[in-house]
Structure 1
């Protein structure tokens, strides 16, 4: 199957690449010449890209440059890629050393959701829904609960201000969520027992960056049939493993250097 023809999209991407390679704003005539486009087409494309928030126009210079939106997208992609690369060896080691077959997860907070950004698996690891790119309500998952607990009650209240924001979830009230997160802080890791999938449980701990902010959580998911009761030794061993992995990821993010 051949590559689909989308000349407008292709031209827009070429404009962004050209502008990213320049030290400053570029005139429309230069953009048209460099990309081999008719001037009228180039002007129309630049106007549309400005209207959509991807370009800014410098009227005094008669020139164009990438917007802050483009810079934010680039910085977020770079940050996510860096975090995933730093975390992958940690996830692989966590799964290899787990006392039972488990799948490792790296997750970041995205509003009220948790987004999965990395994964570690071994030969007998269970198949889970939490693949890279999947988002789930933070209150429902161990990775999300670990991150919410790391934020503190005031920040959690800003994210989830009302009981109605927890409709259909467990915990179902703000008070129950506050109690749950207090338990996470005392324990050092979060747990989830059959709330995402009735056959699986999870534990997770938050990793902090050099500024002391929760950057991500590291967790494992496993079959409940393999783990025994949630207050038993297997869950505790998995929790300690996640807490240690989170500390290691924090060190990789510069956490130790910030505390000197």
Structure 2
């Protein structure tokens, strides 16, 4: 397969800016790319001209432009899953008063597709389009538990496990043990594994081919999440996940098939 170097650099620039979450200068971007400043500048000028980047004349930095948002919004608007899941997320927020998320897996990470917040709910660091490791998130572990053991091994066995908090899983063996518990329980739980104050419950979403394609979750402050409340919310969540899965054509009657 032949790769166009200029096209690849355009995509690399967008990824760098999305991860840095702040405007960068041409010097910073050329250094991150490992590319000459002159050629980087030409690409940046083209991206600004087409609206994919914005240039701040005062501080000489670049940031994502409105055209990039339009492309992203178009993707979300044309994704049936996002449209179909939105009412379920809103209903969960109304019933629990906590934040509800929708996410999918990409290269062993969770990517957030949608998020609904209640006025009094916790504000987490997760935003649409951002990634998090699967092994420290409720959404990620719910999907892993829905996958076959072979797929879990393919995605996670050789991955570096970084300890995000003192409660984070730090090795593949512990993850597999946790996955077994999730399958038996019927939903995943993350208790301060990715953020110090956050408790999360999640369940997978399946499609008409009986494949797990996403997960939804409820996240709230640990101090507000008693055992009884967590169990109550888990009922709401698993009902929503199953109902959405059925709407997408899922033919089974349980959320974990392995």
TM-score normalised according to structure 2 size = 0.66
- SS of the equivalent of 1:127 reads coil
**Residue of structure 2 in register with 1:234 after alignment:** 229
Answer with 184-193 or 116-125: which moved more.
116-125
CA change 1:7–1:227 in 2 (3 A) is closer
1:198 Cα deviation (Å)? 1.1
1:208 Cα deviation (Å)? 0.5
Does residue 138 in structure 1 map to residue 157 in structure 2? no
1:196-230 CA distance string (max 9 Å, x none):
221111000001100011011010110111112xx
- SS of the equivalent of 2:157 reads coil
Q: What is the count of residue pairs matched by the alignment? A: 187
Of 148, 153, 163 in structure 2, the residue corresponding to residue 168 of structure 1 is 163
- The ranges of structure 1 where at least 4 consecutive aligned residues each deviate by more than 3 angstroms after the TM superposition are 4-10, 76-80
C-alpha contact (below 8 Å) 2:109/2:133 kept by paired residues: yes
Distance 1:80 1:192 in 2: 31
C-alpha contact (below 8 Å) 1:95/1:104 kept by paired residues: yes
1:72-122 CA distance string (max 9 Å, x none):
x99x93797221111100000011112xx3100001011111001011122
- SS of the equivalent of 2:79 reads helix
Of the two, which has the highest radius of gyration?
A: 1
CA RMSD of aligned residues (A): 2.9
CA change 1:120–1:167 in 2 (3 A) is closer
**Residue of structure 1 in register with 2:84 after alignment:** 86
Residues 175-190 of structure 1 correspond to what in structure 2 (within 5 A)? Answer: 175-190=173-188
- SS of the equivalent of 2:232 reads helix
1:161 Cα deviation (Å)? 2.0
CA change 1:165–1:255 in 2 (3 A) is same
1:144 Cα deviation (Å)? 0.4
Gapped runs of 5+ residues in structure 1?
11-72
TM-score normalised according to structure 1 size = 0.65
C-alpha contact (below 8 Å) 1:80/1:117 kept by paired residues: no
1:194 Cα deviation (Å)? 1.1
Distance 1:168 1:80 in 2: 36
1:256 Cα deviation (Å)? 4.2
**Residue of structure 1 in register with 2:239 after alignment:** 244
